[in-house]
Amino acid sequence: MTILVAYVSRPEGRAALDKAIEISKERKEPLLIVNASPGGQQEDASLVPAFEVEQIEEQLAAQGIAGEFKQFVRGKEAVEEINDLVDTRDISLLVIGLRKRTAVGKLILGSVAQELLMTVSCPVLCVKAPGA
């Protein structure tokens, strides 16, 4: 079994990763850390820069955690990429980070976290960033 982390380069993504590392150590399960974006013409702030991917991989290695970081930019939304991984890999748990949003923000933009909660077929752990 594998623990899947939906990662973004923000405090809630870091909180999700930290919690997943903690659970990975307890369960002795590997991590699959995923960052996904549909891509396109504009700069995408949700994509994790290469240096940060390297830092995460070094952190896992230093702590003796088996894990891999996958970044997808192939036209699919993050929810679709994550659902595909849950459906095709042996995922025991999905860990996602949450941030506070206004009611209008939820209405206009939707919520990736909410959609994941409603669609994935494995247990989901939602983690808030410190101070959130």
Tens-digit pLDDT profile for residues 45-75: 678 999 999 999 999 999 999 999 999 988 8
Can you give the residue ranges of every domain in the chain?
Answer: 2-128
What is residue 73's predicted lDDT score, i.e. its pLDDT? 87
Per-residue pLDDT band for 129 (boundaries 50, 70, 90) equals: confident
Model pTM above 0.85:
yes
Please say whether the beta carbons of 37 and 75 come within 8 A: no
Q: Is 2-128 CATH 1.20.1250.20? A: no
**Integer angstrom CA distances of residue 67 from 30, 90, 112:** 5, 14, 23
